[in-house]
Amino acid sequence: MSRRADQPGGVLTAPVNKIIPFSAVDGFGNRTAVFLQGCNQNCLYCHNPETIHLCVGCGTCVDACPAGALSWAGEEPAVGAADAGCTAAGDSVISSAGSGVSVASPSDVSGTSSAGVRRVAYDFDRCVNCDTCIKVCPNDASPKIRNLTPEELFDQVKPFFPFIDGITTSGGECGLYLEFLTEFYRLVKGAGKTTYMDTNGQISLAGREEFLAVTDKTMIDLKAGTDEDHRRLTGRDLGPVTDNIRLTAELGKLYEIRTVVVPDVADSRKTVELGASLIAPYPEVRYKLIKFRKYGVRENFSQTPEPSDELMESLREIAWKKGVKEVVIT
């Protein structure tokens, strides 16, 4: 987990990759979208592969940064393994509270930092967002993260409140940081704004009453309609996703499910048939069908064809016939 309780003065934090002040595509109305770093899936067609892993401290980006926003922070002592629910994202980062500098903690796949490995420091104020570091990173990671407490993140987004309906957290996979989100959502709700969670559904929300109590809506990705397709696309099982869709729909906390349509990679018709059958009993839940677009994907997936308008319309027809009231194509 992101709580550094094993450190002197350890506090609850999460690695923030990016904040988009105003978004019309991340839930109801005008919303501020917060992207957290680290994901427990590795989708073949990921459009933000730099958000999958945390920095491993290889240093490739330090020499490449033209703005001098990245530097070596020196050696740090080893940090213990993260909470079992979050280890797939790797370890957290350690930040200097009140400063613009964050220090990325190198980690292996189990979430345990390597002793004696140098760490990359990121100066948020000097960064010009040229993304050179992302382009040269060999590890599907980004050093451009700030490790913030719930209160610090709230202070970052609060200036947008007069202009927005609420906050949406995404990633990466924000579900890796449920304890953090619970505290952050409390602050947002206390200010009269709504809280939405954009998630791949791999982290079970069953039994997470404290978190669900401060969560207005979820938006869950349905990547595939069969276990075989889902494992091939993401490396993970389909079951947790459908369980979360059923649970949040029953609780009235599901805003939409989303399927990225990738021709010849997964059986899109089976995916839509499954998704539609899950949400048809809940007329308030919409189905968003998203055209695969090659921009932002890894090089080895950049030649994958985009779906035709005819295919997208045929999938919408399937969802309608299954009883879904609202089907959106983007």
pLDDT grade for 110, boundaries at 50, 70 and 90 = very low
Compute φ and ψ for 264, nearest 5 degrees.
65, 10
Examine the domain organization and report whether 133 and 64 are in the same domain. yes
Q: Confidence class of residue 84 from pLDDT cuts 50, 70 and 90? A: very low
pLDDT tier at 302, thresholds 50, 70, 90: confident
Q: How many CA atoms lie within 13 A of 274 on its CB side?
A: 23
Give the integer Cα–Cα distance in Å for 150 and 180. Answer: 6
Dihedrals phi, psi of 287, to nearest 5 degrees: -115, 120
Range 60-64 average pLDDT? 94
153 with 84, same domain: the answer is no
Strand partners of residue 72: 120
Q: Mind giving me the DSSP string for 231-257? A: HHHHSS-SHHHHHHHHHHHHTT-EEEE
DSSP label of 68:
S
- Alpha carbon distances (Å) from 182 to 12, 159, 177, 202: 11, 21, 9, 17
- The maximal CA–CA distance of the chain, rounded, in angstroms, is 60
Considering the domain architecture, whether residues 229 and 312 belong to the same structural domain is answered as yes
Which CATH number does the domain housing residue 96 bear?
A: 3.30.70
User: What is the model's pLDDT at position 117?
Assistant: 60
Domain that holds residue 161: 14-49+148-329
Q: Are residues 61 and 86 in the same domain?
A: yes
Residue ending a domain, choose from 143, 167, 202: 143
143, 162, 187: which is the final residue of a domain? 143
Q: Is the bond preceding residue 172 a cis peptide, omega within 30 degrees?
A: yes
How far apart are the C-alpha atoms of 255 and 253, rounded to whole Å? Answer: 6
Question: What are 245-281's pLDDT values in tens digits?
Answer: 999 999 999 999 999 999 889 999 999 999 999 999 9
CA–CA gap between residue 184 and residue 197 (Å, rounded)? 12
Provide φ and ψ at 28, rounded to 5°: -65, 135
Indicate the residue type of 59.
G
Total number of domains constituting the chain: 2
Q: Tell which of 117, 143, 169 closes a domain.
A: 143
Q: Which residue has the higher pLDDT, 74 or 273?
A: 273
- DSSP string covering 33-53: EEEES--S---TT-S-GGGSB
> How far does CA 51 lie from the centroid of its chain?
8
* Residue 250, in any domain of the structure: yes
The enclosing domain of 325 has a CATH number of 3.20.20.70
Average pLDDT over the chain, rounded to an integer: 87
**Residue 303 to residues 43, 266, 295, Cα–Cα distance (Å):** 16, 16, 10
| Least confident span in 126-130, 190-194, 266-270, 296-300 | 296-300
Q: Where are the alpha helices (DSSP H) in 110-238?
A: 132-136, 150-157, 178-190, 209-213, 227-234
Q: Is the dihedral of CA 88, 55, 166, 291 positive or negative?
A: negative
- Answer whether residue 5 shows pLDDT above 70: no
